[in-house]
Homo-oligomer: A and B are copies of this chain.
Amino acid sequence: MDEFGLDEFTRAVEATLFASANPLSLDEIADYAGEGEVAEALARLAEHYAGHGIELVERGGRWHFQTAPDLAHLLRRTREEPRRLSRAATETLAIIAYHEPVSRAEIEAIRGVQISKGTLDVLMDAGWVRPAGRREGPGRPLLYATTAEFLSHFGLGSRRDLPGIDDLKAAGLLDPIDEGSFQLQLESEGEED
């Protein structure tokens, strides 16, 4: 049928169903499409659209077009965009990893800087940090710890594989750092992506 185009009446039924805001009964279709065998036109259309990205379906005597069910996932698409972790988030993650379980106040005490709410959200969004209960004591502060995903992302078998203070010292990572130049370096790395 396709190769020869659709007949006029089938075209009219197709357009009617497409433009309608609601599924239509045979009678309603006939109201729009005019003279013709609605049921036959629907059968032709259903056959025609088989294997397409859309299909003609009947629900309770009413007809409408819908996206093919196997393609429904396209309608809500998730796209991942690579983003480099900020310095604040990286430091916070490191503190959690070395000191877990650790409260927000403790993280701030170690960093010497307050952390914004967004920082922990980012780390949890990344799947690297999880809430780990509350510490019994004044204020019952929420505690944070790293996840299994954290270990696998950073290629660590366990938290014991984190380099110790001595290792960091040997690698020159504990030398007093010129904060300014370190920041510049991090920022320029950030521009790469």
Q: What is A's interface to B at a CB cutoff of 8 Å? A: 2-3, 5-6, 10-16, 18-19, 31-34, 48, 50-54, 65, 67-68, 71, 74-75, 77, 79
Contacts and interface: CB of A to CB of B under 8 A. Distances in A.
Given A53-B12, A54-B14, A67 B31 contact: no
SS class of chain A's interface: helix, strand, loop or mixed?
Answer: helix
Given A2-B2, A31-B79, A18 B54 contact: yes
B3 A67 contact: no
A52 B6 contact: yes
Given A11-B68, A53-B15, A54-B14, A34 B74 contact: yes
Copies of this protein, total: 2
A32 B74 contact: yes
B15 A77 contact: no
A67 B2 contact: no
Contact of A75 (B32, B53, B68, B74): B32
A77 B13 contact: no
Contacts of A13: 53
Contact of A14 (B11, B33, B52): B52
Contact of A12 (B12, B31, B74): B74
- The 7 lowest CB-CB distance pairs between A and B, nearest first, are A15-B53, A5-B51, A14-B53, A11-B53, A2-B2, A15-B67, A15-B71
B19 A52 contact: no
